[in-house]
Amino acid sequence: MTIGKIALKQLLSPVIEALGFQLWGIEIENNKKVSLLRVYIDLIDTFISVDDCEVVSKHVASILDVERVFSGKYTLEVSSPGIDRQLYDLAQYELFIGHEIALKLRFAHENRKNFKGCLHGVEGDEVVVQIESSEYLFPFENIDRANVIAKF
């Protein structure tokens, strides 16, 4: 790949927004033969359809090809973030204050990396999570992955 995730987000966001969607997140998996790019799109107060993903996929693929983002073969997947959506930035954490989340840390805190609790807020660059009777502040840069826990 010739550009990083941030530059890729800056390249794709305006086009996805012009189509009426929000770019929720980007994941890139590189291997020796084929790179995989997952683009998650969202709509406020409605569900993403397969047709929505197809429309965005065609536009994103065109941009990737014109800009020659990948030097070799790549696979593009466009999807909804789903009900158990991953949180990619602090603004997304703020949208889910009061919801249960699962966190996986890059470095252990109190001898563990996995936590589940109620997202209480964001303070600066830290995520505040209530776990049982204790409140934890996790530095955003130490969070490897965070997902909203779906409730039915």
- CATH of residue 22: 3.30.300.70
On whether both 98 and 137 belong to a single domain, the answer is: yes
pLDDT, average across residues 81-92: 94
What pLDDT was estimated at residue 97? 96
Burial 102-125 (b: 16+ CB within 10 A, else e): bbebeeeeeeeeebebbbeebeee
Do 143 and 122 contact (CB within 8 A), yes or no?
A: no
Predicted pLDDT at 2: 55
pLDDT category at 72 given cuts 50, 70, 90 is: confident
Give me the domain span that covers residue 16: 5-79
Q: How many domains does the chain have?
A: 2
pLDDT at 1 over 60: no
Element (H, E) at 87: none
Give the number of other CB atoms < 10 A from CB of residue 28: 16
Q: d(Cα 133, Cα 145) in Å, to the nearest integer?
A: 23
Instruction: Indicate if 100 and 65 belong to the same structural domain.
Output: no
Q: What is the mean pLDDT of the chain?
A: 93
Is the model more confident about 101 or about 65? 101
Query: pLDDT confidence of 30, banded at 50, 70, 90?
Result: confident
Q: Which residues are paired to 34 by β-bridges? A: 73
pLDDT, tens only, 5-27:
888 999 999 999 999 999 999 99
d(CA 117, CA 119): 6
Looking at the fold, whether 74 and 95 belong to one and the same domain comes out as: no
Alpha helices (H) in the chain, listed in sequence order: 5-18, 50-67, 90-95
Are 71 and 103 in a shared domain? no
Cα four-point dihedral sign 127, 123, 128, 93: negative
pLDDT at res. 70? 82
Q: What are phi and psi of 15, to 5 degrees?
A: -70, -45
Q: What is the CATH number of the domain that holds 119?
A: 2.30.30.100
Q: How confident is the model at residue 60 (pLDDT cuts 50, 70, 90)?
A: very high
Give domain status of residue 17, yes or no. yes
32 part of a folded domain: yes
As a whole number of angstroms, the distance between CA 14 and CA 47 comes to 20
Query: CA 130, 47, 6 angle in degrees (round to 5)?
Result: 65
Q: Are residues 32 and 75 in the same domain?
A: yes
